[in-house]
Amino acid sequence: MKPISLTRYLIEEQHAGRINADLRLLIEVVARACKTISIAIGKGALGGVLGDAGSPGAASMNIQGEAQKKLDVLSNDILLEANAWGGHLAGLASEEMDHSQPIPDAFQRGNYLLLFDPLDGSSNIDVNISVGTIFSVLRCPDDVTAPGDEHFLQPGNTQVCAGYTTYGPSTMLVLTVGHGTHVFTLDREIGSFMMTRRDVQVPAETKEFAVNMSNQRFWEAPMQRYVDDLLQGKQGPRGKDFNMRWVASMVADVHRIITRGGIFSYPLDSKCRDKGGKLRLMYEANPMAFIIEQAGGAASTGRQRMLDVQPTGLHQRVPVFLGSRDEVEQAVRYHREHDAES
């Protein structure tokens, strides 16, 4: 059977009363921006887009103190420009911007708030490894016309839509509007995202884990114990051999889990403890948690369901455990048992 396009899927969702016209337009606009980003990434060195932003020897920094790549800045600009004038948004926030931006007065304002990580895993871009865009959509509070940062601070369980695009051998968009998680593949010849998997289900059990093992000595005790037990394999308490995979590009690691299961973790460690974790809640952990839960998986900080975390800052960081439901529950159990003993 011929796959349906993203446009047709969204129109069917609208006719079924699951999304409104504004949200449909918003998703179409984000998808179009992602196609533009995909084209820029695809040109690679030929497009002059690789390397650091800023001047030679003095890369520009974002609010998080991270060196920006040219493609971070370019992707951010593409998403900002595409979303400014459609009339569907009240404001935007990005990993690459200190504060959120209300939609300029010159344009009509809508009722949604959009948050994004324009180019996740960008440290991989110069070595031609998959990177991605992650986004989350919230409702703007009713009485607010010019939203500030505080209006974005809603828990992940209020998201109305979340998605990511992975720019790999093929460009794929993975999307949820709260009725399952669906995968679309970009047909580069006709320029449309086509649905290639409907209602993805992440297997509840897995033998595959993803973590930056070089941080092992910095982890908290429960994480040390959890991974020690995984590494003991068949002879250990878990009774099975585990395999490890780590791309260091969250979108690519999560996409593997969406495709065949697994657990992804970026735990608390002594290097990132003061910041609360490594990954950002609002535009990395929350959208991925929504997508994974809608696919039957689970997402946690190790101590709390991710989607129930009450945010306190736009760029807040959290520990992350997400993927196959039973394995995430195992990781949570190690934290629970440790906390009960101490």
Give residues in contact with ligand AHM (CB under 6 A).
66, 95, 117, 120-123, 212, 248-250, 266
66, interface contact from Mg ion, ligand AHM, none, CB < 5-8 Å by kind: ligand AHM
Nearer to ligand AHM by Cβ, of 65 and 104: the residue is 65
Q: Least distance (Å) from Mg ion to the CB of residue 136?
A: 12
Residues of the shown chain interacting with Mg ion in the complex, contacts defined by CB under 5 A: 117, 120
Looking up tokens 């975390």 gives: 309
212 annotated to a ligand binding site: yes
Q: Distance between CA atoms of 286 and 294, rounded to whole angstroms? A: 12
Nearer to ligand AHM by Cβ, of 192 and 324: the residue is 324
Nearest to 181 by CA among 290, 27, 33: 290
How big is the CA angle at 292 (ends 175 and 218), to the nearest 5 degrees? 125
Got the DSSP string for 48-99? T--SBSEETTEE-B-TTSPBPBHHHHHHHHHHHHHHHSSS-EEEEEETTSSS
120 annotated to a ligand binding site: yes
45, interface contact from ligand AHM, Mg ion, none, CB < 5-8 Å by kind: none
Nearer to ligand AHM by Cβ, of 192 and 286: the residue is 286
96, interface contact from Mg ion, ligand AHM, none, CB < 5-8 Å by kind: none
Q: Least distance (Å) from Mg ion to the CB of residue 251?
A: 8
CB contact set of 198 (below 8 Å; sequence gap of 6+): 180, 182
284 annotated to a ligand binding site: yes
341 annotated to a ligand binding site: no
Q: Least distance (Å) from ligand AHM to the CB of residue 321?
A: 13
Q: Binding site: which residues? A: 95, 117, 119-123, 212, 278, 284
Q: Binding site for Mg(2+): which residues? A: 95, 117, 119-120, 284
